Structure 1
């Protein structure tokens, strides 16, 4: 049965479309989800507890630009099978990288089983049979999936065959840094423009390639440009996550990534930035966003600045004026003036 595609929300213009099972009749929801999975990724056999079928709930946010499709799935428990028969029926020759954002799951392929928790990364090869499952004891799980052609992963074929049973743990080593990149992408996927999605999705493949090379103990198989881009992306996420730390300095960043200070500066110079300048720009952007937020109108300006790592109020004010042409107080006042119902400004 071909089901009518439900109405998507209005986020498509920003590069993301959301499709919900709640937009179709209850008795058709799991069947619709089954069909949608086949259209988005590859034909699958989906199964869930019969008692859940008529109250099944799931949604997927889709950002589909260039060779990489990013999808953020929120779903009730169910099982996904990619069988030999379905592979013969259709083999798009793609990989899917999954990052558990909430809940958990498991995957069985090539005789091995991998249990997954929040932050873990796993590669799915749609050209070979596998079974995956969202944790049955968790009411709702969320996973970020990146779908991309096999040819985008620049690793030797003999190594690619080993990837089906490789779990990249999200709590240590290179896996932790890669996991943070993916979790940040999941958190902000609905805010990204088309251009940003293309750039970040491609970076995600670089990050994955480097992490898989490390997990397979073949880092030398990863091309040097890919390793550099992946490392730079992970450093950017690390900085973004620690912006509020006044001790976020180039030496601390270099130490956290086990590289020399000189190499850290070289990475940023290749992109036309300095480390300190990039940190300052991100901090100013965060302050700019908070000062424009009506929900934070009662918070003192110096408290907002301190939250994002500016310990010197005078220095913050000068930097903000240089970046935006207004003092923080003037900018906040302008924002309050254009907001309907604004009663004043702190």
Structure 2
């Protein structure tokens, strides 16, 4: 099936196995701008595009569903992408992050008053709910992961502080993450939905490790304080389903209770409020993953809440919706997504 130069390819006739591919090849030069804006909007979110050479512009985009996240490969001539206040007025309620890995040439990015250049061998983070500009002048290949903000926050504390910073992907976890992104793209068409969901989870875990490996210092914290804070955050996430007392966290990290409280206060939160926030973020991810299976009570107890009622109140205070309301939205979105894939596969 071909529409507007778009080919929807189902590698095999297994349920939900789909690689969505777009290309400007069959588009007339005068319609390529409109076409490319359309597929970029469908894959990520609305953006305004300015081309280096509009009449000669060429681009191709492949995207894969990996459960809660998506992966895409974008290859095109030079272009400027802009996310502006007009787009934000109609933005989807769920904030997301784009993790962009350039392959062939450097990219330039600015958001929230900060500018950064990122060459091949690195990656950057972009927030969907703030204006930004993103560009490259030469033909480039980009790998892009789109991750819901709650999922990323459950793995990386305050990811918004990492926007407009270039991260090293030439070694360690960063190198492993980027190589896995490139490698799995050639194999995803032969994986079922459950396998692709697992791959997506592993990629987010590797991203979290890569960020922790090379994260810049937080404002007001020395490198030693930052290292202790990251160690405390990791301990909390690793034991989030268990009872967590500040003293136990401090002892596990080899620091005093007073020092632990000071570290979190310097970041603007108490230890207990950060633990509670992490429980809520993990529970929200669980609501999305198990929209048709686990009960709200099971999720509440799984993530350390004293009762379903307490969980529901805290969840609504944090997200603005009750867990049951959020679940209804996630189910509707999942059903819509599955219906789309069914139509593609058929």
Task: State TM-score, norm by structure 1.
Answer: 0.57
Query: Structure 1's 29 and 110: CA in aligned 2 closer, same or farther, altered over 3 A?
Result: same
Does residue 152 of the first structure (1) align with residue 162 of the second (2)?
A: no
Q: How does 1:1-346 map to 2 (within 5 A)?
A: 5-8=4-7, 10-13=9-12, 14-49=17-52, 52-91=53-92, 92-134=94-136, 136=137, 138=138, 140-155=139-154, 159-186=158-185, 188=187, 192-216=191-215, 219-220=230-231, 221-222=233-234, 223-224=237-238
CA RMSD of aligned residues (A): 2.6
Q: 2: distance between equivalents of 1:191 and 1:77?
A: 32
Query: Structure 1's 9 and 90: CA in aligned 2 closer, same or farther, altered over 3 A?
Result: closer
Q: 2: distance between equivalents of 1:143 and 1:6?
A: 20
Q: 2: distance between equivalents of 1:18 and 1:180?
A: 21
Shift of 1:173: 4.1
Q: Is the 8 A contact 1:72 1:145 kept in 2?
A: yes
Query: Structure 1's 174 and 157: CA in aligned 2 closer, same or farther, altered over 3 A?
Result: closer
Q: 1: distance between equivalents of 2:4 and 2:82?
A: 23
Gapped regions of structure 1 (runs ≥ 5): 227-346
Query: Structure 1's 6 and 194: CA in aligned 2 closer, same or farther, altered over 3 A?
Result: farther
Q: 2: distance between equivalents of 1:15 and 1:9?
A: 8
Shift of 1:168: 1.2
Tell me the SS of whatever aligns to 1:127. coil
1:21-52 Cα distance to aligned partner (Å, 9 max, x none): 11322221121101221122111111112xx2
Counterpart position of 2:286? none
Query: Structure 1's 206 and 89: CA in aligned 2 closer, same or farther, altered over 3 A?
Result: same
Shift of 1:172: 3.5
Q: 1: distance between equivalents of 2:158 and 2:197?
A: 27
Shift of 1:153: 1.0
Q: 2: distance between equivalents of 1:193 and 1:144?
A: 21
Q: Is the 8 A contact 1:178 1:208 kept in 2?
A: yes
Tell me the SS of whatever aligns to 2:158. helix
1:212-271 Cα distance to aligned partner (Å, 9 max, x none): 233335543243389xxxxxxxxxxxxxxxxxxxxxxxxxxxxxxxxxxxxxxxxxxxxx
Shift of 1:195: 4.0
Q: Is the 8 A contact 2:98 2:127 kept in 1?
A: yes
* Residue-pair matches, total: 218
Shift of 1:177: 3.2
Query: Structure 1's 150 and 15: CA in aligned 2 closer, same or farther, altered over 3 A?
Result: same
Query: Structure 1's 211 and 65: CA in aligned 2 closer, same or farther, altered over 3 A?
Result: closer
Q: Is the 8 A contact 1:99 1:183 kept in 2?
A: no
Query: Structure 1's 176 and 209: CA in aligned 2 closer, same or farther, altered over 3 A?
Result: same
Counterpart position of 1:333? none
Q: Which deviates more from structure 2 when the two are superposed, residues 212-221 or residues 68-77? A: 212-221
Gapped regions of structure 2 (runs ≥ 5): 216-225, 241-346
Tell me the SS of whatever aligns to 2:153. coil
Query: Which structure has the higher relative contact order (CA within 8 Å, separation 6+)?
Result: 2
Query: Structure 1's 155 and 74: CA in aligned 2 closer, same or farther, altered over 3 A?
Result: same
Q: Is the 8 A contact 1:101 1:186 kept in 2?
A: no
Kindly name which structure, 1 or 2, has the bigger radius of gyration based on alpha carbons. Answer: 1
